Amino acid sequence: MALLAYLPFESVAKGSLIVCVGMFILDPFPLSRIYALVAVIIVQLLAKARNAALAAQERAEGEEKDNDDVDGRKEK
């Protein structure tokens, strides 16, 4: 399980969703459908948080570029 930390986020998320679909369809134990739905919701929340963090980082980098002086020096 710890080795999954070294894989790209998208690959782990897609793999998790495939496992959840399998659990939802096969229903190996009584609460498996609920677990599958909870896992899908968690993956969606993590994806939204990642996208928000990337967007904030891009905005911050854009603001840094806007704060540069005309001669190329950064404002202090």
pLDDT of 41 strictly over 80 = yes
pTM for the full model? 0.61
Q: What Å distances lie between residue 5 and 10, 45, 61, CA to CA? A: 11, 18, 27
pLDDT reading at 71 higher than 70: no
Whether residue 54 is contained in a domain is answered as: yes
Enumerate residues 6+ apart whose C-beta is below 8 A from 21.
Answer: 36
pLDDT given at position 49: 92
Domain of residue 59 covers 9-65
The SS3 assignment for 62 reads: helix
Task: Please report whether residue 70 resides in a domain.
Answer: no
Return the structure tokens found at 73: 């020096």
Q: Looking at the domain assignment, is residue 22 inside a domain? A: yes
> What average pLDDT does range 33-62 have in this prediction?
88
CA–CA dist 67, 54 (Å, integer): 20
User: Is the per-residue pLDDT at 11 higher than 90?
Assistant: no
Is a pLDDT exceeding 70 seen at residue 75?
Answer: no
pLDDT of residue 68: 61
Count of structural domains within the chain:
1
Q: Flag whether 71 is in a domain.
A: no
47 within some domain? yes
